[in-house]
């Protein structure tokens, strides 16, 4: 195998490892940190089922963001859903053996690249042109958007502008990463740039604001049932406090 193939394979495993370990640690931290008080925010559901509905509205529709800012919602929502579709579109590459029939029908999903770029550019434009958003943006906020845009653009170049690599090699390289049956990587630079940036994205997931993805499920303002008068909600450290103080 060529040096570059080895480097990329190593980098892939490293990125995935960093991502998995990092996210696991973060999720473990969130899960083990107590929530001492009931702090659901309005409009607060009174039942567990209500919380599930609320979470679905937030995760699938970005309901709060819609209320807050229609433009940000449009850009953000398009970008995230396009990302999901494109993720599905990439599954066949990694599928060990023959991918199920349905995954071979995902060809049209490639067009999701355009709403993706539209959404990302909109978000980037907001960072530049809306003074409030510019004020709160750190370099990492711009860079992350640029990284995503660059990934999308290299993808578009390959798919729509004939910069595609040898697809047979892509399949066997990608599948080989999963099945540990490594094979040679195509050497087209656009392709290499594309996957390099994706690996970077994966690697920085747990140390970046991409933590909002697991974070949203742990947000107590969103995931709590508003039933404080009915059930006592108390954290372990508060129980210890009670035991230690005489007056109860």
Partner 1 sequence: MSKLDTPKLETYLQTPALKSDSMASSGPFKANADMQKSLGFPGEKIDNWQQVAIEKMGETIEKYRSIPVFLDACVKCGACADKCHYFLGTGDPKNMPVARQDLFRSVYRRHFTFAGKYFPKLVGAKEFDESMLDDWYNYFHQCSECRRCSVYCPYGIDTAEITMAAREVMNAIGVGQKYCNQILGKVKKIGNNLGMPEPALRDTLLDLEEEIEEDTGVAVKLPLDNEGAEILLITPSADFFAEPHIDGLIGYAKVFHQSGASWTLSSYASEGANFGMFIGNYDIMREGALRIRKAALDLGVKRIIVGECGHAWRVAYSFWNTLTGIGGGAADEYALQLQNQLDQNYPQPQHIIEYTYDLIQKGQLAFDKSKNDHRTVTFHDSCNVARGSNMGGIENGQFLLPREVIKAACNNFVDMSESTIKASTFCCGGGGGLLTDDLLELRVKGALPRMQALKQSEETSGVNTLAALCAICKSQFSKVLPYYDFDPFMVVSVHQLVSEALLLDGDNSQQESKTL
Query: Rule CB under 8 A: which residues touch partner 1?
Result: 26, 29-30, 33-39, 41-46, 50, 58, 62, 64-65, 67-69, 72, 76, 123, 126, 130-133, 135-141, 143, 207-209, 211-212, 215-216, 218-222, 226, 228-235, 237-238, 241-242, 247-248
Nearest CB to partner 1, comparing residues 96 and 215? 215
Nearer to partner 1, 25 or 178 (CB): 25
Contacts of 164-171 with CB under 8 Å at 24 or more apart are: 164/188, 164/191, 165/190, 165/191, 170/93, 171/92, 171/93
Residues whose CB is less than 8 angstroms from the CB of residue 178 and which lie 6 or more positions away in sequence, other chains included = 94, 96
What's the min distance (Å) between Cβ of 210 and partner 1? 8
63: left (phi over 0), alpha (psi -120 to 50) or beta: alpha
Nearest to partner 1 of 65, 193 (CB atom): 65
- Cis ω for the linkage preceding 43 (within 30 of 0): yes
- The CA distance from 14 to 202, in Å, is 10
- The residue (of 63 and 99) whose beta carbon lies closer to partner 1 is 63
Q: Which is nearer to partner 1, 74 or 192 (CB)?
A: 74
- The two structure tokens encoding residue 74: 């449009």
Question: Is 111 buried (19+), middle (13-18) or exposed (0-12) by CB count in 10 A?
Answer: middle
Nearer to partner 1, 107 or 236 (CB): 236
Using CA atoms, how far apart are residues 238 and 37, in angstroms rounded to an integer?
10
**Could you tell me the smallest distance in angstroms from the CB atom of residue 44 to partner 1?**
7
Residue whose CB is less far from partner 1, 162 or 230: 230
Q: How far is the CB of 85 from partner 1 (least distance, A)?
A: 20
Closest distance of CB 140 from partner 1, Å: 5
User: What whole-number distance in Å separates Cα of residue 146 and Cα of residue 195?
Assistant: 15
Q: How far is the CB of 123 from partner 1 (least distance, A)?
A: 8
Q: How far is the CB of 175 from partner 1 (least distance, A)?
A: 32
Compute the least distance from the CB of residue 2 to partner 1, in Å. 32
Identify which of 20, 27, 7, 46 has the alpha carbon closest to the alpha carbon of residue 203. 20
> What one-character DSSP code corresponds to residue 61?
I
What token pair was written down for 18? Answer: 């960093």
């Amino acid at each position: 195998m060529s040096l570059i193939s080895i480097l990329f394979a190593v980098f892939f495993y490293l990125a995935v490892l960093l991502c998995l370990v990092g996210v696991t640690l973060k999720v473990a931290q969130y899960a083990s940190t107590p929530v001492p008080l009931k702090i659901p925010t309005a409009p607060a559901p009174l039942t567990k089922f209500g919380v599930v509905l609320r979470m679905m509205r937030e995760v699938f529709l970005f309901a709060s963001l819609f209320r807050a800012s229609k433009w940000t919602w449009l850009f953000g929502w398009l970008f995230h859903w396009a990302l999901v579709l494109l993720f599905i579109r990439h599954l066949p590459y990694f599928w060990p053996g023959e991918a199920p029939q349905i995954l071979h029908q995902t060809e049209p999903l490639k067009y999701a690249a355009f709403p993706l770029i539209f959404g990302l550019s909109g978000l980037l434009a907001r960072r530049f042109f809306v003074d409030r958003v510019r004020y709160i943006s750190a370099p990492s906020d711009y860079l992350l958007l640029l990284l995503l845009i660059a990934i999308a653009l290299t993808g578009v170049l390959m798919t729509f502008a004939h910069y595609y690599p040898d697809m047979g090699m892509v399949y066997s390289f990608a599948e080989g990463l999963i099945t540990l049956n490594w094979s040679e990587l195509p050497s087209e630079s656009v392709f290499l740039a594309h996957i390099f940036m994706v690996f970077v994205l994966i690697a920085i997931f747990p140390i970046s604001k991409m933590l909002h993805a697991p974070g949203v499920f742990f947000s107590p303002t969103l995931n709590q049932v508003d039933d404080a008068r009915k059930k006592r909600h108390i954290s372990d450290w508060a129980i210890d406090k009670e035991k230690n103080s005489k007056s109860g």
